[in-house]
């Protein structure tokens, strides 16, 4: 499996720097309190460079949800697993490793921003679709047709649906990095993950 070129890595780093700058400005000033030039300046790039990556500030803010090197890290994680590992067990291990405190912090903050500034919603949905595509690509590359295409799409869709309530806080789950005082009575994230994968293994 070919590794990304230096040019690809630089492009990814630029896109990530711009997204982080946009996200920070949104948290500090709200979506109406900054413009594209502010994003470019904070990230250390020109407005023209920004335009090469994003169509607007909303898209840049939402793209912070995509992990830097996320696809390559996902491949590396699965490639280290036993050859006979099942799709369920492989994705379970990936979720435990990649669903970090930083990930949930970003998703919660994006959700709160979108409630105040609804123009963000389409772009957040777009990032979630990209995450699904990345997961689907990992499955396709690494399991080489061991599972029907429809099965893998259903599986990824079920996982996406299971994690969405954690982004907006509608389920009382103690997320990585949270203390029990922040979510009294909550079940732990690991317990929630075990429950979801129990449903997937045994049927609904």
Domains, the chain, in order of start with CATH, read 1-64 (1.10.10.60), 66-204 (1.10.357)
Mean pLDDT of 22-31: 98
Q: CA-based angle 177:75:12, to the nearest 5?
A: 80
Bigger pLDDT: 176 vs 32: 32
Q: Could you give the CA distance from residue 109 to residue 94 in angstroms, rounded to a whole number?
A: 23
What is the average pLDDT score of the chain? Answer: 87
Residues 6+ apart with CB under 8 A from 197: 88, 92
pLDDT at 67: 75
- Contact by Cβ (8 Å): 123, 61: yes
pLDDT at 69: 56
Bigger pLDDT: 83 vs 195: 195
pLDDT band at 188 (very low <50, low <70, confident <90, very high): very high
pLDDT at 204: 63
pLDDT digit string, tens, across residues 30-80 = 999 999 999 999 999 999 999 999 999 999 999 999 876 555 666 666 667
Distance of CA 73 to the CA centre of its chain: 13
Tokens of 149: 């295409």
Query: Which range in 11-20, 78-87, 152-161 is most confidently predicted, on average pLDDT?
Result: 11-20
């Amino acid at each position: 499996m070919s590794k990304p070129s230096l040019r690809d890595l630089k492009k990814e780093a630029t896109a990530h720097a711009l997204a982080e700058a946009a996200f920070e400005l949104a948290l500090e000033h709200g979506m109406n309190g900054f413009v594209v030039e502010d994003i470019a300046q904070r990230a250390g790039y020109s407005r023209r460079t920004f335009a090469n990556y994003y169509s607007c500030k909303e898209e840049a803010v939402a793209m912070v949800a995509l992990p830097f090197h996320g696809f390559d890290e996902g491949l590396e994680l699965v490639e280290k697993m036993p050859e006979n590992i099942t799709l369920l067990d492989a994705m379970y291990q990936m979720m435990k490793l990649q669903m970090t405190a930083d990930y949930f912090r970003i998703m919660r903050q994006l959700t709160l921003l979108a409630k105040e500034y609804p123009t963000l919603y389409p772009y957040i949905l777009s990032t979630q679709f990209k995450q699904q595509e990345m997961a689907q690509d990992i499955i396709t590359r690494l399991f080489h047709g061991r599972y029907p295409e429809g099965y893998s799409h259903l599986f990824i869709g079920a996982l996406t649906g299971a994690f969405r309530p954690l982004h907006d806080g509608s389920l009382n789950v103690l997320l990585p990095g949270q203390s029990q005082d922040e979510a009294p009575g909550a079940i732990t994230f690991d317990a929630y993950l075990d429950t979801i994968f129990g449903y997937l293994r045994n049927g609904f």
